[in-house]
Amino acid sequence: MVLASRIIAQTAMKNGWQVRTSEIHGMAQRGGAVTSHVRIGKNLFGALIPNGAADILLGFELAETVRGLEKLKAGGKIIANSAKVVPVSVTMGKTKYPDQEILQYLKKQPYDLTLVDAHSLALKAGHYKAVNMVLLGVLAAQKLPFAGDGLLSTALELLPAKLHEVNVKAFYLGKQTGEGYYGHSAAIS
């Protein structure tokens, strides 16, 4: 997620936009969320996006996507990975991960929702760690203040050459999903 936000920010700056970013690291190894804010515009001051002001929410995990909904403005766009990160309490059998309830909740929200099985598409591209690029590909298919393919160019500048082939494939699988080639609920089980 941090790399994805860096790619978005650098692409926007290359296209002449002012950018402010912020990262909040919530001890992800112990179940805390990592959140990144990327503000793109003119005359920006703060780095944090106020509640109800975000155009797009890029969710890398189902429950975290729900936690970020308060940031979206009316008519906003959700791009959500259908993957779930199961907390220790679920692994130990003390609670259940309510993935179906979360999916139904997201589908009922008054936002434009694109659900993507980014992990499956990343594996199809060649490596599960290419989830970032799948989601950036979906984002590239949206209305952005710059050409969406610029995200791929920036990513290739930041990534080692040995990772380019997998990440290019992942980006275009995501972009095809964002354009509706695979449908908006690609590979949702």
- Which tens digit of pLDDT belongs to each residue from 130-142? 999 999 999 999 9
pLDDT band at 1 (very low <50, low <70, confident <90, very high): confident
* Residue 83 three-state SS: coil
pLDDT at position 146 is 93
Range 178-183 contact pairs with CB under 8 angstroms and sequence separation of 24 or more? 178/79, 178/114, 178/137, 178/138, 178/139, 178/140, 178/141, 178/142, 179/141
pLDDT at position 120 is 95
pLDDT at position 186 is 42
Fold held by 1-184? Pyruvate-ferredoxin Oxidoreductase; domain 3 (3.40.920)
Paired with 186 in beta bridges are: 116
pLDDT at position 142 is 93
Q: Calculate the average pLDDT of the chain.
A: 89
Q: Regarding beta strands 112-116 and 72-81, do their DSSP bridges make them parallel or antiparallel, or are they unpaired? A: parallel
Residues 75-108: tens digit of each pLDDT: 999 999 998 877 788 888 898 988 899 999 999 9
Phi and psi at residue 128, in whole multiples of 5°?
Answer: -65, -25
CA atoms of 62 and 84, how far apart (whole Å): 6
Per-residue pLDDT at 185 exceeds 70: no
Which of 133, 117, 137, 120 shows the shortest CA–CA distance to 166? 133
Q: What is the pTM of this model?
A: 0.88
Contact 130, 25 (CB under 8 A): no
Residues 2-45: tens digit of each pLDDT: 789 999 999 999 999 999 998 877 665 555 677 899 999 998 88
Residue ranges per structural domain of the chain: 1-184
Instruction: Read off the pLDDT of each residue in 153-180 and give the average, rounded to a whole number.
Output: 95
Mark 96-111 as b/e (b = at least 16 C-beta within 10 Å): ebeeeebbeebeeeeb
